[in-house]
Amino acid sequence: MKTKYIIWQNYIKNQIISTDIDENIKSINKQLLEELENCTRAENPQEEIYERFYKNVEFGTGGLRGILGAGSNRMNIYTVAKATQGIADYILDGEYIKDSPIIESETAQNPAVAIAYDSRINSEVFAKITAEVLTANDIDVYLYEELMPTPALSFAVRHFKCAMGIMITASHNPAKYNGYKVYDNSGCQVTLTAAEKIYGYIEKLDIFNDVKHAGGTGEIRLLGKDIAELYLDAVQAESCLNTPNLKETLKNLSVVYTPLNGAGNKPVRRILERLGVFKVHMVKEQELPDGNFSTCPYPNPEKREALALGLSVCKELAEKAAAAGMPEDIPDLLLATDPDCDRIGIAICEFKDGRPDYRLLSGNEVGVMLLDFLIATKVKTGLKEKPCAVTTIVSTKMAEAIAEKHGVKMIFTLTGFKFIGEQIAFLENEHREEEYLFGFEESYGYLSGTYVRDKDAVNGSMLICEMAAYYKDKGMTLAERLEQLYQEYGYYKNELIDFTFEGSKGMELMNQLMQDFRENLENSFIGKPVIETADYQEQERHVFTKDGSGKIESIRPIDLPKSDVMEVILEDGSSFTVRPSGTEPKLKIYLSAKGKTAQESEEIIAGLIRELTNKVNR
């Protein structure tokens, strides 16, 4: 580690004194050098240096993601440039065509790359470094001239028929992280096979000597308002409501919105304006880009803490409206999009003892409500024939029940929206993309069209507002509609618990825990026998006798790609699924229960949380 540390230190020193280096890059190099020099003054210098250099920041199906800073295991201008050189080599060798999900690829003669970035620290710098390396390798670049949502990157890849796309973002991670998502020529995040190939290209390179920065024939073409408006045209084409009375209801809808200091501010407000939703109240502290996320250190719309300011604005406006005798001004909704605007969290207004209050909905609850809404507006009206919906193996089983009742085919994929995008590509290759109705994952990602291949919070914002207007026009709140669905299909309750394991030791411990779940699984949880397990790594489903003995009754294959995921199903249909996160140093456990009442489901979930937390921490 010491040798790598010294090599980095010496190289960066030379860059600082070079006369050929841009002043902005020199300034970044000075920060990196200061970090490296501070390593020797750390409480444990050896450990500090080890954590920065014990491995290269890993490239997986989510691309790169890591802590910002100096070192081979950090996100910085050098690790970004090295990854980009690997991608350039992958493109120039024609491998992107071999790995393309598009049967008839139109990009072979135009290996251009689209690039976008969000509001995170150094996102714009990383985007420009990426463009610099690509053009030095004779590859043209389409670069958004200002921060844009991740789905807008997917749109640009498809619109310009690019070979690949690169999005600089760490999604909803804390401010100390940044990342680098990679998309194939269909506009979908790269497959497992492509990611492995790209990683091979990257690892062949010397980070300082093998990366091109100048001398190529590639050109940078800036993308401005015209392409942003085309993207919004595609989003709006998925609108469900166009009757005069519903447009009037949309005009009277009151919405509080926070982009959590990210990329959603302009496009979300623009799509709501196009819909006719004019009563939009911004959370001022979170309106403008801020890579430090000063008011929400963990800008994840799945977390109540990130929505605290938005909820405060909702309650303040509701109190003022009630006091003024103007109930029509009470906010109906809180919308919150994450920094790269592909996920959206919401809170809905419900009245308790005649007073307005706000209830956060989970990604699963929003997913099933949107599925039900799209069935009502597109399937029952005959706009969709042979409709299908797509969700993941860790999302709520309630979606399957709703789909089955209405003749909608439900497709299940591995965790990650790229697998939902992959299913859309399969339909497109068979000229059946019109059958696609909706896709969602429990982690607050939704998409109702085929114009992109990733979750889209701009699309989600539009659909959620239309859904609220649809039921408001019927004299019903979203809370009341959700309760109707629970009464009809059962009280499904889903919960996610996660455990953080940072650093090299944390990764080892996480691997040990996954092994323990596979090899030392209890025969029962919360007093209920385990009747089935699904090990997606081994691609086997084991069915057990129901006496709690752990005796295997049958073994069935799983027809999905290998993945480090373990699902456990109990006798009453409750279940939990364990997997390490692909983008964060976390072990995630997804809990699922179905009861006759909300209280019954909550008690099952509480019991599972208690027992599984003890298992992880023992």
| pLDDT surpasses 60 at 158 | yes
Given pLDDT bands bounded at 50, 70 and 90, which one contains residue 381? confident
178 CB contacts (<8 Å, ≥6 apart)?
Answer: 65, 66, 68, 75, 120, 121, 122, 123, 126, 168, 169, 170
Q: Give the amino acid at 196.
A: E
Q: What is the mean pLDDT of residues 399-418?
A: 95
| pLDDT surpasses 70 at 383 | yes
pLDDT at 109: 62
CB 184 within 8 A of CB 153: no
| pLDDT surpasses 60 at 602 | yes
How much of the chain exceeds pLDDT 70, in percent?
Answer: 99
Strand order in the sheet with 436-441: 409-413, 388-392, 436-441, 445-447
Q: What is the mean pLDDT of residues 273-291?
A: 97
| pLDDT surpasses 60 at 397 | yes
**pLDDT tens digits, residue range 31-74?**
999 999 999 898 898 999 999 999 999 887 779 999 999 999 99
CA proximity to 156, closest of 170, 147, 145, 143: 143
CA proximity to 574, closest of 497, 513, 495: 495
| pLDDT surpasses 70 at 105 | no
Chain centroid, CA 486 distance in Å: 27
**pLDDT tens digits, residue range 435-465?**
999 999 999 999 999 999 999 999 999 999 9
Bridge partners (DSSP) of residue 542 are 533, 555
Q: Give the amino acid at 617.
A: N
| pLDDT surpasses 70 at 359 | yes
Alpha-carbon distance of 564 to 456, in angstroms, equals 26
Active-site residue, from 119, 171, 461, 601: 171
43 CB contacts (<8 Å, ≥6 apart)?
Answer: none
Range with lowest mean pLDDT among 277-286, 483-492, 529-538, 578-587: 578-587
CA dihedral 251, 253, 256, 262 (to 10 degrees): -50
Alpha-carbon distance of 255 to 366, in angstroms, equals 16
Q: What is the mean pLDDT of residues 268-283?
A: 97
| pLDDT surpasses 80 at 103 | no
By CB atoms closer than 10 A (0-12, 13-18, 19+), residue 114 is buried
Number of H helices, E strands in the chain: 19, 24
Chain centroid, CA 436 distance in Å: 20
Beta-carbon neighbour count of residue 302 at 10 Å? 19
Given pLDDT bands bounded at 50, 70 and 90, which one contains residue 246? confident
Alpha-carbon distance of 412 to 470, in angstroms, equals 28
Q: Give the amino acid at 437.
A: L
pLDDT at 107: 52
Block residue for tokens 């020529």:
185
pLDDT at 365: 97
Block residue for tokens 């250190």:
297
pLDDT at 433: 93
Strand order in the sheet with 113-117: 59-60, 63-67, 177-183, 164-168, 113-117, 141-144, 220-223
Alpha-carbon distance of 349 to 318, in angstroms, equals 9
CB 545 within 8 A of CB 571: no
CB 139 within 8 A of CB 267: no
Quote the DSSP letter at residue 399. Answer: H
Distances (CA, A) of 310 to 267, 287, 301, 366: 19, 11, 11, 18
Q: What is the mean pLDDT of residues 471-485?
A: 95
- 578, containing H or E segment: strand 575-580
pLDDT at 88: 98
Beta-carbon neighbour count of residue 37 at 10 Å? 11
**pLDDT tens digits, residue range 251-272?**
999 999 999 999 999 999 999 9
CB 187 within 8 A of CB 421: yes
| pLDDT surpasses 70 at 516 | yes
Would you call 100 a catalytic residue per the annotation?
Answer: no
**Tokens for 504?**
């090299």
CB 162 within 8 A of CB 142: yes
Given pLDDT bands bounded at 50, 70 and 90, which one contains residue 423? very high
Alpha-carbon distance of 603 to 205, in angstroms, equals 54
pLDDT at 104: 66
CB 262 within 8 A of CB 251: no
**pLDDT tens digits, residue range 335-351?**
999 999 999 999 999 98
Beta-carbon neighbour count of residue 336 at 10 Å? 33
- 593, containing H or E segment: strand 586-595
Q: Give the amino acid at 403.
A: A
Pairing of strands 177-183, 355-361: unpaired
Chain centroid, CA 533 distance in Å: 27
CA atoms within 13 A on the CB side of 83: 31
Alpha-carbon distance of 315 to 313, in angstroms, equals 6
What is the largest distance, in Å, between two alpha-carbon atoms of the chain? 76
| Mean pLDDT over each residue of the chain, to the nearest integer | 94
Alpha-carbon distance of 448 to 374, in angstroms, equals 9
pLDDT at 241: 84
Q: What is the mean pLDDT of residues 370-391?
A: 91
Distances (CA, A) of 510 to 54, 113, 568: 18, 36, 18
Block residue for tokens 């000075």:
30
SS (H, E, C) 212-272: CCCCCCCCEEEECHHHHHHHHHHHHCCCCCCCHHHHHHHHHCEEEEECCCCCCHHHHHHHH
Q: Where are the alpha helices (DSSP H) in 520-597?
A: none
| pLDDT surpasses 70 at 108 | no
547 CB contacts (<8 Å, ≥6 apart)?
Answer: 529
CB 455 within 8 A of CB 441: yes
The helix/strand/coil state of 277 is coil
Alpha-carbon distance of 264 to 343, in angstroms, equals 10
| pLDDT surpasses 60 at 120 | yes
Q: What is the mean pLDDT of residues 306-322?
A: 96
Given pLDDT bands bounded at 50, 70 and 90, which one contains residue 470? very high
Four-residue CA torsion sign, 570, 510, 171, 143: negative
